Structure 1
Amino acid sequence: MNRQTPRSCSDWVRRAEPIEGVERIEAWFHGKAYAMHRHDTYAIGRTLAGVQSFSYRHSQRHSLPGNTIVLHPDEAHDGQAGTDEGFKYRMIYVEPALFQDVLGGRALPFLEGGVTTDPRLAAATTTLLQHVGYTLDSLEQSDALIELAHALAAVAGTPARRSKGNFFAARRARDYLHANFARIVTLDELEAATGRDRWSLSHDFRTFYGTSPYRYLTMRRLDAVRRMLLGDASLAHVAATAGFADQSHMTRHFLKTFGLTPGRWLQVTGGVQRG
């Protein structure tokens, strides 16, 4: 089911129900949309109208209608309209693990510029960047993700051989963090669960999943936060249930990750905030 802001709000975000690690949105913003933030997923999108401007890797980028945007996990970026008319776009957020299922231990594809006109990526994103009102079935999404992973690797020039490092240890760490995200997880635990020393494991995790174990754990907590907020839970309850020290701790991480406070995020997605 899609959520939509009231018509009285000039900025809006429509969200499709996430399916197996992929979130799809369509949005319209005027002026400043997002503060600087970073998340642990790929953000891949297309500008539909206006000029979509953002800071990325120490430069200002501008995406025009029809351009494809590819933001790598854990890279800081913001978002704003490049002109007074505002901008409209669609975006998918893809967990790196889904691409690793296809690439099988190769380094994650990285596109330096953030914006591309490469026809291979335009074609590979067509299915996933349909209107959020269109419901993808799981097989259709899986096929599209396979095509997109191969297109990203080809455009980025990712080597065909596996990257150095222990992919299986990194995957065990990811599974362990998934199962224990709502509590404190120590490095000693991860070492015991993976059989890998903390320094090597941290390097492997970033190579294969694009972020650190700590950031990955924090993001799983924030995923739970968003689900609970859309269910009208209070901010204090959500913070405690998701494993944050308190409400302000959760809010700081939310803003750094999504570029919006929880209250602003609820406003543009059509949720209702409770204190």
Structure 2
Amino acid sequence: MLPRSYYTDHDIRKRQIDTLKVFNANVAEIKEFSEYKVEFTANSRNMALNIVLPPEFPNEKPAIFINPAFPHPWLAENSNQVIGAPGLINYTLHSDLGRVVQAIIREFQRSAPSIPSEDKSTDTSPQSHISVNSMMFPELSELTIEELQEILENPDLQDKLLENNPQLTEIDLETEELMTSIEEIAQDNLAKQQMLDEMKSKVLDRISTIVQMKMNYEALNRKYQKMSEMYDPHRIRDRLKNAAMQADEDAEAIAEQFLLGTISVESFILKFAEKRALGQARRAREERLAHQLAQLDKATT
């Protein structure tokens, strides 16, 4: 099986649709990859869920509608859209669409009212509301019309009725658990903030050290290049050659001065011999170095 990171968006979307068909019967495709219908029976009544998958699904939760609608805390006010199911509230990329829909169907099969005819479904009398709501609030069936009317007119009694409803209590508990989990994650993140700040400081110090080392390296490299040029064997050979020629020129200048009579014999012999010896020594070194360089070039080619 390929890791999740290798699945395309199309593959992930198809896998979610496959779970819908695996965990539920009577799944009909209304629009390919976008809209599906799941029929089921609740209290001898034919019902259906319409599942609409938005373009960003499964990164975005599906929209689910119940037909026909009936009063239930999971439905939006004055709407047939399912919004309060825990599976939808907590829906993530890793949820299974099929399991979420299966849980919704089971809840509606458990709590859907039994309405045998269309006349009763469209009846707006207080008695019809009592029969429907008694499935969600069984205690209402034991109250008189006057008591029910008092509840309708008293917000405090309505709040008390809602507080004692087990379905709403379960939703409140799930919400509190989610809030607790979120707070724990937030506290954990805050606890790690100091560690992140220390790591950031260390990284900045290391960057500063690297920058300084790079500057030192560049300065040393420039110094090396300068000294490398200065002490290059070929450059030394050329300087020895020029120095030998200069010594010969100085010796010839001393000889001319002697011929012109501007220096004595003793001074001429001393200076001329010195320059000649210096030139010969430099020429000998230059020739020896040239020979060594020639051998080195021959060995490396």
Higher relative contact order (CA 8 A, sep 6+): 1
State the TM-score, normalizing by the size of structure 2: 0.21
Higher-Rg member (1/2): 2
State the TM-score, normalizing by the size of structure 1: 0.22
Query: Could you say which structure has the higher helix fraction?
Result: 2
Query: Could you say which structure has the higher strand fraction?
Result: 1
